[in-house]
Amino acid sequence: MILEETKYGRKSISGQILLIAVNILIVLIVILAYVSMNRSRTVLRSLMEDSILNIANSAATMVSGDDLKGMTGDYSDSKREEYGRMIDELEVFKNNTDLTYIYAVKKIGDNYCVVADPDFEGADEYGEVIETTPALLSAIKGTPSVDTDVDEDKWGVFYSGFSPVYAKDGSITGVVGVDFDAEWFDGRSASENRRILILCMVAFGGSLALVLLLTKRARHEVFMHQIEGEKLLSVKRAIENANHAKSAFLEQITQETRNPIHTILDMGERIAQQTEVDRISVCASNIHTSGESLMRIINDVLDYSGIEAGKLRLEEKEYYAVKTLADIVGTIEPEMKKKGLSLVVNVDPELPRYLFGDPTHISQCLYNLLANALKYTDEGEVVLSVFVQSRNDKSAYIRFSVEDTGCGIRHEDLDRLFMPFEQLESERSSGDTGTGLGLAIVTKLLEMMGSKLHVESLYGQGSLFTFVIMQDIVKEEKVGDFETEYNMLYGQENK
């Protein structure tokens, strides 16, 4: 069902892509055709104007300016030898080019008149006045020119050009005019446009075929990716289900195991308190110690399972910073002393006394780091430091660090350090193996609190674990001397 819906979705998307591509292609082809046609018409017009000017200039050089000067624009001119020579020259160009008319023009009085034309058919056509155009006036002044607009008269519609005719003394005695039929130009232009349209259609067909081919290939690739995606999604769901089942199983087992362990601890403690037999007291003490170790293992597994299952939540509240730190120190210090280690505690006097955050999980992170230091340190000291890194009126970034003089960590082992169930240098851990979850839990908890655990280590010399957490400030009151505060909380009880 999922694949069927995906298939329809794929077809819909592919169809939309194809439609967009075809529309873009059509627009591009139309623009290309329009630009090409305009360009072609411009080029043809330019070629025609050049041709008109070349013919007019060539004819003007062949016509004698002195002969033209003697023309009167009357039918009697046709009887003159000079007129015959002029007509012969003009007719050569008319018969060997695509022009329609060629003629000689001279100013007679205030008008410009045609005084020689191979196509004259009647006496009344000699000396006929023609329309004065910009190109004609330009040629009379000595510059060969072509009219930009078509000229329409009783003989038809033409593109006309003119070139000056010079006498031997250098004076301009008239001009030679040539006419190209507008239909000839329009026919050439239409023919060129048809050629352009054919080329554009061929290009469109080829491009459309290419688009269809690419779309088909893209459809296939998308379909294959979707199949792979479905497979990966199925595998991911299976893994997630397996993880949830594992986490649920571990949580259930550890919850069910806690009650018997508590009973064992209570019984061991009672036996140790009530018996006066040394051997029995030692056994009871061993039972209690082993039970506590087992309880820590169970708690680690339960915590990690809760994090993996997404059930663990932060518990933010107002807390007394000194009390939180003192509880950690009071719990771990006796274990340090049993092993002959010194626990040094450095607390910034500027640390705000009352904060808002998650003291439970901060304590758990610090305890796990201290327990890890205890596990891998045989002599020397463990240093717990808490300093204000930066702050403002409402919040403070607090830097926590645990440093030991233990065996340290090899550089190549750092990448495995925070992996669950990993135990580095287990042979140097004083026989206390644990679960290998302590640092993994710290890493997960810090991620939930927006922080990250950093480690620096020299193999054989010790390690330094550091993290920074932002906490809201409840009151401006500062901790001051931590040792004094600690003694007030624990000192009297220990006496």
pLDDT tens-digit series, residues 59-101:
888 888 888 888 877 777 778 888 888 888 888 877 777 778 8
For residues 118 and 481, what is the distance between their CA atoms, to the nearest angstrom?
A: 125
Which carries the bigger pLDDT value, residue 490 or residue 425?
Answer: 490
- Which tokens sit at 407? 């065996």
**Residue ranges of the chain assigned to CATH 3.30.565.10:** 314-494
**Amino acid 495: pLDDT:** 39
On average, the pLDDT of the chain sits at 78
- Which tokens sit at 209? 């075929």
Q: Which residue has the tokens 């003394």?
A: 169
* 8 A C-beta contact, residue 356 and residue 365: no
**Amino acid 232: pLDDT:** 80
**Residue ranges of the chain assigned to CATH 3.30.450.20:** 15-187
Q: Which residue has the tokens 């991620």?
A: 447
Three-class DSSP category at 456 = strand
Fold designation for 15-187: Beta-Lactamase (3.30.450)
Beta strand 317-320 pairing with 156-166: unpaired
Which CATH number is 314-494's, of 2.60.40.10, 3.80.10.10, 3.60.60.10, 3.30.565.10?
3.30.565.10
Lowest mean pLDDT segment, chosen from 239-243, 293-297, 482-486:
293-297
Tell me the average pLDDT across 391-406. Answer: 93
Q: Which of 337, 389, 328 has its CA nearest to residue 359?
A: 328
Q: Which of 365, 379, 381, 380 has its CA nearest to residue 430?
A: 379
**Amino acid 21: pLDDT:** 66
Close Cβ partners of 478 (under 8 Å, ≥ 6 residues apart)? 349, 350, 351, 352, 353
- Which tokens sit at 251? 């949580």
For residues 63 and 162, what is the distance between their CA atoms, to the nearest angstrom?
A: 13
Q: Which residue has the tokens 């298939």?
A: 7
* Amino acid letter for position 157: V
**Amino acid 427: pLDDT:** 47
pLDDT above 70 (res 150): yes
For residues 395 and 452, what is the distance between their CA atoms, to the nearest angstrom?
A: 18
Q: Which residue has the tokens 């004698």?
A: 64
pLDDT tens-digit series, residues 217-268:
767 777 777 787 778 888 777 777 766 666 666 666 656 666 676 676 666 6
DSSP secondary structure letters along 300-361: HHHHHHHHHTT------EEEEHHHHHHHHHHHHHHHHHHTT-EEEEEE-TTSBSEEEE-HHH
